[in-house]
Amino acid sequence: MRKKIVRKDHIAMEASKIHCKLSRNICFLHQWISLIFTFGFVIPFIQSLDYSDALSKSLLYFEAQRSGRLPYNQRAIWRHHSGLTDGLDQGVDLVGGYYDAGDNVKFQLPMAFTITMLSWSVIEYGEDIAAAGEYRYALEAIKWGTDYFVKAHTHPNVLWIQVGEGDTDHYCWQRPEDMTTSRRAYKIDEDHPGSDVAGETAAALASSSIVFRRTNPHYSKLLLVHAEQLFEFGDKFRGKYDTSVGAAKGYYPSLSGYKDELLWAAIWLYKATDKSHYLKYALQNAQSFGGTTWAISEFSWDVKYAGLQLLAATLPRQDKREKEDDKIIEEYRSKGEYYLCSCLNQNNKTNVHRTPGGLLYIRQWNNMQYVSNAAFLLMVYSDHLRETNQMARCERRSVGPEEIFAFAKSQVDYILGLNPRGVSYLVGYGPKYPQRVHHRGASVVSFKKRKNFISCTQGYDNWFGRKTSNPNTLIGALVGGPDYKDRFNDHRRNFMQTEACTYNTAPLVGLFAKLNGLDRGIDIEDSSLFLAK
């Protein structure tokens, strides 16, 4: 049963829901009225949200982050070829892949997580992506990453996991086309293990193999071969990758260790292959690896527990499965729903903090990554509960799929401008969005317009400190976002709020597709109601 809210603005909100059934425009008008009643602020602009446009822009962002030789149909036309000698000094071809954020280093752990989340978006909402005319671009975004992973996996027990050095890179403000910083490559192997990055790469390749199964079966099988080899490698030679590769520690340290990635990879491999031993691995190691013991309130490129718990909870029931196995999956579900309930403020003690405007707030640096990931997990799980006619069991009360959906939608709508500042934090979307994103390539004149070399110091002296907008719009990038009071300072120096990352945007692809594909006549509770809880 839904908890009855008794408050002075209840009548206005109920009126909003009634009008939503009658008119989309009236619906959005009453959403704003509800927000004014609830929070006492007025949004600078009133407009319906165009999820189709947001979807298109989110996929365009990945083209701006490409490393390597760009294709003829590159749409982010201000970018050009870069990193064409990556791996040359080590005698391996490491050209390609993605820059993770506003710098020019290729970090494997966040890159692999990005591809996993892009693939999951397509697996869940591929029909909606296709209906919006974006399916081709979604597959291209995934394949740009998986092609690189295949090249980087040069031996069953060798994976190249970084190109470039964060320290030297951060001393320079250069377009990737001009890079003069070190492009040293780093690998993991039997003597220098990295079970976390091997596991996440295996998860990325397994999930993407599902995506390509119908359109490119040969490629799908190739990805699966690499995924299985990497999982075996990561499991047999266990260790944290940032212990083996110190250059990654100051930038993407594996604080959660590697056990969550191994469980995460095992579940994805089970989904991709239907081989029972992968499921057995995830079940037999569930307790010792923390899968059914850790109750987590965040999901990110590092901490996979909530994602694997909810992924395990959505596995279809099978008659041949033993009762003990179902019991373990039920334990996975319990811990996964703890995460969900913490986002919905329905745990008795530990809940995720929210800003006055209703945004989930985990921490100061790049908070939006946690928001987009949370919204995606909640959206997928709400679909699962609806399809199986179930409720999520929280400590305070049971929660239905409609409520979970509505809260996930409220987070997406906040990102797109339904917030106290009326700012879209998805660059290029809407009339008002960040203009000075902390990003080397976007903040320096395009190589296509000015081919003359720009050095490290020239970049800092002539471009980094400019108060004007970036010369190139990093369309589709989700920046770090506002602070705990919904405040946002649009300045390049403010990297905690204005830097964008590939793993911020990846889950949005599925979310935008889902929301765009919904029948507008469906009776879904007004998302502003859940900003008030």
Catalytic residues: 438
Task: Give how far Cα 479 sits from Cα of 122, 154, 194, 213, 505, Å.
Answer: 22, 34, 29, 33, 9
Coil, strand or helix: which one is 256?
coil
CB 137 within 8 A of CB 509: no
Per-residue b or e along 392-406, where b marks 16 or more CB atoms closer than 10 Å to that residue's CB = bebeeebbbbbbbbb
Nearest to 306 by CA among 316, 314, 315, 294: 294
Compute the distance between CA of residue 104 and CA of residue 502 in angstroms, rounded to an integer: 13
Q: Which residues are within 8 A (CB) of 312 and not within 5 positions of it... i.e. 6 or more apart?
A: 267, 282, 291, 329, 332, 333, 336
Coil, strand or helix: which one is 376?
helix
CB 391 within 8 A of CB 525: no
Which amino acid, 432?
A: K
Q: Which residues are within 8 A (CB) of 187 and not within 5 positions of it... i.e. 6 or more apart?
A: 90, 158, 159, 160, 161, 245
Compute the distance between CA of residue 234 and CA of residue 223 in angstroms, rounded to an integer: 16
φ, ψ for residue 531, nearest 5 deg: -70, -20
